[in-house]
Copies of this chain bind each other. A is one copy, B any other.
């Protein structure tokens, strides 16, 4: 039961990361086709860059990467691509880091929770109804109508906890 609500766990160093990227791009392609969205080469490339690691990446890092591609790029280029990817659920924004991370489950809208390791910077994405629901209940009790939940938890992932104890 413990894994059921984990959309994306902390990935070990040795995992097949090419597969992660491929899956993310394939899913995005499928979803865009289904919804009539245009996954342009730029948007696809930015999504691929976001998925280069399982950790949040800053907009200006993406910008540098686009320039490394040889492409002329300025801030609006990457921010507009991110806007598209955010709106359609392909990436999430980590507010506490001003950074962006690939979404582990872009096929449906969801309220996610993030565990962010302060040591290795990797991120796990949860979609735990119990968390969302209790927050919704408390908000309801105060007459508050929720439109968005931002839940970001920082700390140490299991691996880093072992290597950097106490």
Kindly supply a per-residue 1/0 record for chain A positions 129-150, scoring 1 wherever the CB is within 8 Å of any chain B CB and 0 otherwise.
0110011001101111111111
Q: Let me know if B96 and A142 touch, CB within 8 A.
A: no
Cβ contact of A128, chosen from B118, B128, B138, B153, cutoff 8 A: B138
Cα(A161)–Cα(B142), bound, Å: 12
Tell me how far the C-beta of A23 lies from the nearest C-beta in chain B, rounded to whole angstroms. 21
Q: Let me know if A155 and B148 touch, CB within 8 A.
A: yes
In the complex with contacts A9-B142, A124-B142, A131-B135, A150-B96 CB distance below 8 A:
yes
Q: Let me know if B157 and A143 touch, CB within 8 A.
A: yes
Cα(A139)–Cα(B115), bound, Å: 8
Cα(A130)–Cα(B133), bound, Å: 11
Let me know if A30 is at the binding interface, CB within 8 A: no
Q: Let me know if B153 and A146 touch, CB within 8 A.
A: yes
Chain B residues whose CB sits within 8 angstroms of the CB of A9 once the complex forms? 142
Cα(A53)–Cα(B152), bound, Å: 26
Let me know if A156 is at the binding interface, CB within 8 A: yes
Give the interface of A toward B (CB within 8 A): 2, 5-6, 9-10, 95-96, 113, 115, 117-118, 124, 126, 128, 130-131, 134-135, 138-139, 141-158, 161
